[in-house]
Every structure is written in structure tokens, then in C-alpha cells.
């Protein structure tokens, strides 16, 4: 298939901000795609070659892209750099510069999707000495064969700047329409995606074997399952009411969520974002090899820093020292951990995700050889608010964040990839005004002065509006940053600067610098207030008003484990506002 077909679809997608139109364009593209390459189209459209958990990225640095473009276009590097300075968009630069060349040369070769994908793959897998030269040669070749319009998207994809704004859910919907017989097929297709986290594989099965095969898809070892998430409520009364008067309350540990996959001696560990983090935690993998009796298992646990001497839990910040690539052995010694398991999703060939929680837990008890480092989350069945409140106090006293209250009805299945009411979080923060933290997306910045000159003085932060798939500003924050944070943030954010406000950002405030939504920070605020300036949940409480977070302060936690779509949602901010009102009314 000609790459020009994809490039044309991208151009159309770029020219709309309407999700329905994007879906239609995608449906057309998928329908015009030969079965052999649907998977490739699905990955490429997301700027990828493989699902995230495989960990292979095209990852061409801008410098290498420029060098390749110089070679392919025959233009001077200085010309290309000055064009880049003007447009701020390497894709546009490629189009401009190649257009100049193409006018002068006769051009006939057609570029296929297969060839583009294979060249990207080759570049992604080339490492070691001579890798840069090899990648430059392959990339320059690709750009030379491309028309100016194709080059625009090829270079954007290779440098991680494609940013079509197509969410996974849009692709699922398009697949349902194009190959599942209509929108109704979205449910089973989404479920298939939730249990394998691989859009390419789902599309391949759908296209080749049909919807029935999708419905029969099962959980598999080493294919991470998208995690089940919890809703939140502020009081034991409301929690019990939601859970039919009875729940399994568990300690809510403050660490890192790990999904462990085991098959014999092979163990893989996935983060909440489903990245393979096995290399960070060789001690955890060893522990699992030794202590998990089942030949095959997939289970979830919170990995927590502990004090080996006392067995006491340590704060989340200590675990962050384990996030490193080098000198892991020292970190293992300095920051030992324990695993607190809380769910079992698969055991010895059997998919447990559709079994009730109590059954899953009973089997979990059987397959673990518990010891001081591998435990099951402390739990209790609570029938009344007093029991829940007492257990909560105990959890806090022992260093936890609060409780996870879980449904124990017959229907308490594992809802992969969903945030629902089967699990409800109860955290201490709700008890005071708004000491609850929120996770917000950095969408803009204001230049710093004085000590912060040359860096950013304050950041414009947004919540995620899930319904509209956009980011709505909710606060401007300049407090809580250490000098190191200021320098680090400046460096991190440099990679995400965009020339103008991103199409998915809703803001009335004019930032001095705009970013693509990427970086997520944990913020502690004093109060949620009505705001005439911020766009979060606009008009959901009062006409012409959005919601804002007052007196925000950065807690020091970079939520690198969260994608912008996992940030606090506008709906959650509304709930916080309403809960505050309730508290005020009670006093
Ligand atoms: P979320 O993961 O819900 O988007 P978050 O990352 O901000 O939100 P929290 O709101 O603190 O996290 O709560 C959910 C997390 O709590 C889970 O993702 C998991 O990592 C952790 N957790 C700790 N103990 C448990 C438990 N017993 N059962 C389930 N999750 C637990």
C-alpha cells in the first residue's frame, strides 16, 4: 500500500478537532488497507512500531533527523535550522525543504507503508558502534524517496512528533465500524484490548478471524492486562451504601503498582503504565521465582519501600530511588522493598478475570508461599461504618494511604482497563478541606524572574476531561519546587514545547510557552473554588464559571507512571468541589 494514502489520511485528521470526523477518516483508512498491513497502520497511526510493553521505539533524535534531511534534500544545514527556528515543526521543515528539491529533480519512486515500517524497525533495532551512521543512511534514503508531503509525516513519526491526537478509544471505535459490523462491536473489541494491551494484535485478529475470535480472546502470560482502577468517595457511609452494605477493605499501600507475570522461571514485571520494569526490580523477580508456587501466574501487587530492620513501611519517595538504570545492586541494598499482593488474574492456563474477587483471593492464598517480603494486603470484611473507620485509622497508623474498599458480590469481576465502583478508595485526605492531592498535566509556562530567570517561574496545569478528550486548565502553580526541580523541569519540558496552544488544551489564560500534554505532576491544593478564568468543568456548577485549585503546591512527586489521560479528571474536580460543600454544610 502506498504511504501516500496514510499521509493523506493524517493530513485530513490534522485539519479537524472533531472526534467523530477523526473516527470517520480512520474508518476509511482501515477499510482501504490490505489485511496484511492493518497492524502496521494501527501502530504507525499511534506513532509506534509495537505495543508499549515491548519497549522498542523508533526514537530518532532531532539532530540525526536534521542530518538525514540535509543529505536527502541537498540543502544547507543552516537553512534547515533557520526554517526550524521559524516553524518549530520538523515535519513542516522537511516538507518545505524537500519541495524545493523536488521541483528541480525528476521524481518517480513510490513509497510503500511496508517499506516505511521496515525502515523504522531497522533504525529502532540498530544499536552499538556505527549505529548513528547506519540510521542516518537508512533515514536519509527514506526521506529521499518520499514526496514532500510524505516526508512531513515520516519525520514526525520518527522523531516522536506525530501527535495526531488519536486516543486508543478512537482506534477501537474505528475498528468496530470498519471490521466489527458496527459500533455495537466496540464492547468486545475493547475488552480484547483491555486484556492484551495491544491494539495491533486486536486489529489483526479482528481483520483475519472476525469478531467471534475477538470474543474468545483470553488473558495470556507476558501480555500485560490494562489495570482495574478505583473510584473515590469521602466517607465510610457512602462507600458502604455503594457496595451493598458490605465490602472487603484492604490497606492501601503507598508504593508502585506492579503486575507480575510468571511462567516457570521466566518473570516479567509491568508498571501501572504497562512498561516492562523487570530490569529495575531483579530482587522482585527473584522473590517471585522462589515464592510463587504456580507454574504460571499473573498477579498484582503494590511494591513498597520497607525498613528491613523493623518491617515498617517507608514513604513513597524512598521507592523513587529504585527508578534507575544503573547501579541497581546498590539501590536494592539501600532501598529494600516488600510486595503486598492484592489480586490474581490468571493461574496455570486459567483466566480468572471474570471470577468474583473472593474466589480470586482464595486461589491467591494457595499459590503464594508468603514470607516477610511477599505478603497479601492486610484485609478485613467490613459490615458497618465503625468497622471501616477503625480499620482505616489502623491503616494510616501503619504507614498506608488509607483503604481500598472492594465489592464482594457475585459480580465483582476484574474490570480490566476500567475505573468503576467495584473498587473505591478511601484516603485520609478527604477528611480535611482539600489536602487531597491531584495529578495535573503541565500545558503551559510563564518565564521566571530573579533566581528563576532563564527557567520557568510558574506552570499552567490542567485536568483531563475524559468525555471530551481534552485538557482544561485548573490552576497556575509556582510553589513547592526546589532549585533542582526548576532546572529539571526546564530540561524535561523543553522536549514538549509547541509553537502554539495544542488543539486539545482548553485555556482562557495565555501562557508564555505552550507544551503538548505530557508531563504529569502531583499537586496539593488548599481548596477547589469557582473560577472565571480556569476552564475545568466549565459551567458544570455555575454559568460562566469553571473550577480552580487555590494555593497549589508541587508535592515533589513527578507522576512519570501516569500518562496525561490518567491525570485527575474534570469530573473528579467537580466531585471534590461538591464534597467540600458537604463538609462545610456539616460543620
Ligand atoms: P489511580 O491508579 O486510581 O489512577 P493513583 O495512581 O493516583 O490513581 P491512588 O488514587 O492513590 O493512585 O490509588 C490507586 C492505587 O492504589 C492503585 O493503582 C494501586 O497502585 C494502589 N494500591 C495500594 N494498595 C492497593 C490495594 N490493596 N488494592 C488495589 N490497589 C492498591
Is the distance from the beta carbon of residue 504 to the nearest atom of ligand 1 less than 6 Å? Answer: no
Residue ID of nearest Cα to ligand 1 atom 31? 252
Is the distance from the beta carbon of residue 229 to the nearest atom of ligand 1 less than 6 Å? Answer: yes
Is the distance from the beta carbon of residue 466 to the nearest atom of ligand 1 less than 6 Å? Answer: no
Ligand 1 pocket: which of 224, 230, 255, 391 to mutate (most atoms within 8 A of CB): 230
What does the pLDDT read at residue 262?
Answer: 98
Q: Which helix (H) or strand (E) holds 117?
A: helix 113-125
Is the distance from the beta carbon of residue 486 to the nearest atom of ligand 1 less than 6 Å? Answer: no
Ligand 1 pocket: which of 228, 257, 398 to mutate (most atoms within 8 A of CB): 257
Ligand 1 centre from 252 Cα, in Å? 7
Residue ID of nearest Cα to ligand 1 atom 17? 257
What does the pLDDT read at residue 17?
Answer: 80
CATH 1.10.3720.10 for domain 3-158, yes or no, is: no
Q: Which helix (H) or strand (E) holds 342?
A: strand 337-347
Q: What are phi and psi of 418, to 5 degrees?
A: -125, 150
Ligand 1 centre from 377 Cα, in Å? 12
Strand runs (DSSP E) across 239-322, as ranges? 247-252, 256-263, 266-270, 296-305
Nearest-Å Rg of the Cα atoms of the chain is 25
What does the pLDDT read at residue 430?
Answer: 42
- CA–CA separation, 132 vs 122, rounded Å? 12
Whether residue 239 contacts residue 233, with contact meaning beta carbons closer than 8 Å, is answered with: yes
Spans of all domains in the chain: 3-158, 229-431, 438-586
Ligand 1 centre from 367 Cα, in Å? 23
Residue ID of nearest Cα to ligand 1 atom 6? 562
Ligand 1 centre from 15 Cα, in Å? 38
Nearest Cα residue to 462 out of 476, 448, 451, 449: 476
Is the distance from the beta carbon of residue 342 to the nearest atom of ligand 1 less than 6 Å? Answer: yes
C-alpha cell at position 144: 529521499
- CA–CA separation, 406 vs 286, rounded Å? 30
Q: What are phi and psi of 480, to 5 degrees?
A: 95, 0
Ligand 1 pocket: which of 226, 252, 402 to mutate (most atoms within 8 A of CB): 252
Whether residue 353 contacts residue 205, with contact meaning beta carbons closer than 8 Å, is answered with: no
Is the distance from the beta carbon of residue 376 to the nearest atom of ligand 1 less than 6 Å? Answer: no
Ligand 1 centre from 257 Cα, in Å? 7
Whether residue 519 contacts residue 438, with contact meaning beta carbons closer than 8 Å, is answered with: no
- CA–CA separation, 21 vs 31, rounded Å? 15
**62-73 vs 77-87: helix crossing angle, rounded to 10:** 120
- CA–CA separation, 253 vs 233, rounded Å? 17
The structural architecture, per CATH, of the domain 229-431 is 2-Layer Sandwich (3.30)
Q: Which helix (H) or strand (E) holds 488?
A: helix 483-494
Within 10 Å of residue 348's Cβ, how many Cβ atoms? Answer: 10
Residues 6+ apart with CB under 8 A from 130: none
Is the distance from the beta carbon of residue 230 to the nearest atom of ligand 1 less than 6 Å? Answer: yes
> 313 pairs with which residues across the strands?
306
Residue ID of nearest Cα to ligand 1 atom 2? 229
Residue 227 alpha carbon, nearest atom of ligand 1: 18
Nearest Cα residue to 474 out of 527, 424, 547, 401: 547
Ligand 1 centre from 254 Cα, in Å? 8
Is the distance from the beta carbon of residue 425 to the nearest atom of ligand 1 less than 6 Å? Answer: yes
pLDDT < 50: residue spans in the chain: 430-432
Residue 229 alpha carbon, nearest atom of ligand 1: 3
Kindly report, residue by residue over 338-397, the tens digit of the pLDDT. Answer: 999 999 999 999 999 999 999 999 999 999 999 989 999 999 999 999 899 889 878 876
Q: What are phi and psi of 434, to 5 degrees?
A: -135, 70
- CA–CA separation, 232 vs 579, rounded Å? 11
Residue 401 alpha carbon, nearest atom of ligand 1: 11
C-alpha cell at position 159: 522523531
Ligand 1 centre from 168 Cα, in Å? 22
Ligand 1 centre from 390 Cα, in Å? 20
> 524 pairs with which residues across the strands?
437, 553
Residue ID of nearest Cα to ligand 1 atom 20? 257
The CATH number, out of the four listed (2.40.50.140, 3.90.850.10, 3.40.50.300, 3.20.20.370), of the domain defined by the range 438-586: 2.40.50.140
- CA–CA separation, 414 vs 408, rounded Å? 11
Is the distance from the beta carbon of residue 404 to the nearest atom of ligand 1 less than 6 Å? Answer: yes
- CA–CA separation, 88 vs 82, rounded Å? 10
Whether residue 437 contacts residue 526, with contact meaning beta carbons closer than 8 Å, is answered with: no
Q: Tell whether pTM > 0.85.
A: no
Residue ID of nearest Cα to ligand 1 atom 22? 252
What does the pLDDT read at residue 122?
Answer: 95
Same topology, domains 3-158 and 229-431? Answer is: no
Is the distance from the beta carbon of residue 250 to the nearest atom of ligand 1 less than 6 Å? Answer: yes
Residue ID of nearest Cα to ligand 1 atom 9? 425
Q: Give ∠ CA 533-534-536 in degrees, rounded to 5.
A: 150
Q: Which helix (H) or strand (E) holds 533?
A: none
Q: Choosing from 67, 252, 262, 562, which is the catalytic residue? A: 252
Is the distance from the beta carbon of residue 464 to the nearest atom of ligand 1 less than 6 Å? Answer: no
Ligand 1 centre from 349 Cα, in Å? 27
Residues 6+ apart with CB under 8 A from 585: none
Whether residue 43 contacts residue 69, with contact meaning beta carbons closer than 8 Å, is answered with: no
Is the distance from the beta carbon of residue 452 to the nearest atom of ligand 1 less than 6 Å? Answer: no
- CA–CA separation, 203 vs 330, rounded Å? 43
What does the pLDDT read at residue 389?
Answer: 87
Within 10 Å of residue 335's Cβ, how many Cβ atoms? Answer: 16
Q: Confirm whether 135 is a catalytic residue.
A: no
Three-state SS for 222?
Answer: coil
Is the distance from the beta carbon of residue 566 to the nearest atom of ligand 1 less than 6 Å? Answer: yes
C-alpha cell at position 109: 519512486
Ligand 1 centre from 438 Cα, in Å? 13
Amino acid at each position: 500500500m502506498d504511504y501516500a494514502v496514510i499521509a493523506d489520511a493524517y493530513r485530513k485528521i490534522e485539519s479537524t478537532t472533531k472526534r467523530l470526523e477523526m473516527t470517520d477518516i480512520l474508518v476509511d483508512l482501515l477499510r482501504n488497507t490490505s489485511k496484511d498491513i492493518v497492524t502496521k497502520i494501527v501502530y504507525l497511526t499511534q506513532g509506534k512500531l509495537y505495543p508499549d510493553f515491548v519497549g522498542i521505539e523508533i526514537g530518532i533524535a532531532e539532530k540525526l533527523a536534521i542530518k538525514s534531511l540535509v543529505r536527502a534534500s541537498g540543502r544547507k544545514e543552516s537553512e534547515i535550522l533557520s526554517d526550524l527556528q521559524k516553524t518549530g515543526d520538523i515535519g513542516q521543515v522537511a516538507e518545505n525543504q524537500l519541495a524545493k528539491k523536488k521541483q528541480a529533480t525528476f521524481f518517480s519512486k513510490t513509497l510503500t507503508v511496508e517499506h516505511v515500517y521496515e525502515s523504522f524497525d531497522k533504525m529502532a533495532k540498530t544499536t552499538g558502534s556505527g549505529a548513528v551512521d547506519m540510521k542516518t543512511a537508512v533515514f536519509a534514503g527514506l526521506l529521499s524517496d518520499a514526496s514532500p508531503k510524505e516526508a512531513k509525516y515520516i519525520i514526525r513519526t520518527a522523531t516522536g512528533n506525530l501527535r495526531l491526537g488519536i486516543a486508543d478509544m478512537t482506534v477501537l471505535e474505528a475498528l468496530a465500524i470498519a471490521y466489527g459490523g458496527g459500533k455495537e462491536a466496540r464492547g468486545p473489541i475493547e475488552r480484547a484490548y483491555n486484556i492484551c494491551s495491544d491494539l495491533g494484535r486486536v486489529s489483526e485478529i479482528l481483520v483475519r478471524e472476525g469478531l467471534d475470535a475477538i470474543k474468545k480472546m483470553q488473558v495470556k502470560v507476558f501480555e500485560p492486562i490494562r489495570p482495574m482502577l478505583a473510584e473515590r468517595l469521602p466517607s465510610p457511609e457512602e462507600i458502604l451504601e455503594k457496595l451493598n452494605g458490605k465490602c472487603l477493605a484492604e490497606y492501601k499501600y503507598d508504593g508502585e503498582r506492579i503486575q507480575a507475570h510468571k511462567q516457570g522461571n521466566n518473570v516479567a514485571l509491568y508498571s501501572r503504565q504497562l512498561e516492562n520494569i523487570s530490569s529495575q526490580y531483579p530482587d522482585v523477580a527473584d522473590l517471585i521465582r522462589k515464592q510463587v508456587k504456580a507454574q504460571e501466574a499473573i498477579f498484582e501487587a503494590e511494591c513498597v519501600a520497607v525498613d528491613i530492620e523493623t518491617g515498617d513501611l517507608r514513604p513513597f519517595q524512598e521507592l523513587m530511588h529504585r527508578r534507575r538504570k544503573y547501579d541497581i545492586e546498590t539501590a536494592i541494598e539501600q532501598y529494600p522493598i516488600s510486595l503486598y499482593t492484592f489480586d490474581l488474574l490468571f493461574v496455570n492456563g486459567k483466566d480468572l478475570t471474570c471470577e468474583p474477587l473472593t474466589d480470586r483471593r482464595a486461589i491467591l492464598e494457595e499459590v503464594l508461599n508468603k514470607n516477610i517480603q511477599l505478603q497479601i494486603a492486610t484485609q478485613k470484611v467490613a459490615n458497618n461504618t465503625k468497622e471501616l473507620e477503625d480499620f482505616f485509622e489502623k491503616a494510616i497508623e501503619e504507614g498506608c494511604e488509607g483503604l481500598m474498599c472492594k465489592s464482594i458480590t457475585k459480580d465483582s469481576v476484574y474490570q480490566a482497563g476500567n475505573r468503576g465502583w467495584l473498587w473505591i478508595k478511601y484516603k485520609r485526605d478527604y477528611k480535611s478541606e482539600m489536602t487531597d492531592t491531584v495529578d495535573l498535566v503541565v500545558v503551559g509556562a510563564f518565564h521566571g524572574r530573579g533566581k528563576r530567570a532563564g527557567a520557568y517561574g510558574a506552570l499552567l496545569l490542567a485536568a483531563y476531561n475524559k468525555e471530551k478528550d481534552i485538557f482544561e486548565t485548573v490552576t497556575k502553580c509556582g510553589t513547592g519546587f526546589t532549585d533542582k526541580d526548576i532546572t529539571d523541569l526546564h530540561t524535561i519540558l523543553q522536549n514538549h514545547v509547541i509553537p502554539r496552544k495544542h488543539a486539545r488544551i482548553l485555556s482562557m489564560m495565555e501562557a508564555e510557552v505552550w507544551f503538548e500534554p505530557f508531563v504529569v505532576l502531583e499537586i496539593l491544593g488548599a481548596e477547589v473554588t469557582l473560577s472565571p478564568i480556569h476552564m475545568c468543568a466549565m459551567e458544570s456548577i455555575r454559568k460562566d464559571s469553571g473550577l480552580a485549585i487555590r494555593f497549589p503546591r508541587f508535592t515533589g512527586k513527578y507522576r512519570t507512571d501516569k500518562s496525561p489521560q490518567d491525570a485527575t479528571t474534570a469530573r473528579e474536580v467537580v466531585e471534590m468541589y461538591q464534597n467540600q460543600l458537604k463538609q462545610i454544610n456539616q460543620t
